[in-house]
Amino acid sequence: MAGATLTPDKYLCAVSINGVSDLPMMLASYDRNDALEREYYDIWVDRIGDPETDLSSIVSVSPRHRLADLKAQVLLVHGTADDIVSVQQSRSMYQSIIDAGKFAKYYELEGAGHHIYSQDQRTEMLVIVNRFLVSCMPPS
């Protein structure tokens, strides 16, 4: 999603599988009173900035906040049991894309986690991605 919003002329289609699309939302989801979650939070702050001091910079590269630049058709796929990236990331991104008048398709994989270990769900995901790409980039 970052590529499709930061360099929109390079993409006809974009696929996000269990992806982060709203960096401030992701950072806010961590419980900083929990030692492990605080450690993850601190890693992200080191990588992308502190939302208390760098919020405008974080927002400026966050795909959900750059939809005016989006030109690509978007496919979002997310597992409902993802405990690494909240399914709310894709739900919110989908609604924001639609609200911006852009094209998106969204699929949830019921009970799938972040890594989609189930062979049936992986197959379903790959079929969805293939159909989307064929419709987005038909053979010439």
Class assignment of domain 1-22+63-140? alpha beta
Tell whether the model's pLDDT for residue 139 goes beyond 90: no
Residues in the chain: 140
How confident is residue 138, by pLDDT bands cut at 50, 70 and 90? confident
How confident is residue 90, by pLDDT bands cut at 50, 70 and 90? very high
Task: List the chain domain ranges.
Answer: 1-22+63-140, 23-61
Instruction: Quote the CA–CA distance of 75 and 100 in Å, as a whole number.
Output: 15
Beta strands in the chain (DSSP E): 13-17, 73-79, 104-109
pLDDT, one tens digit per residue, over 28-85 is: 999 999 999 999 999 999 999 999 999 999 999 999 999 999 999 999 999 999 999 9
Instruction: Quote the CA–CA distance of 114 and 37 in Å, as a whole number.
Output: 17
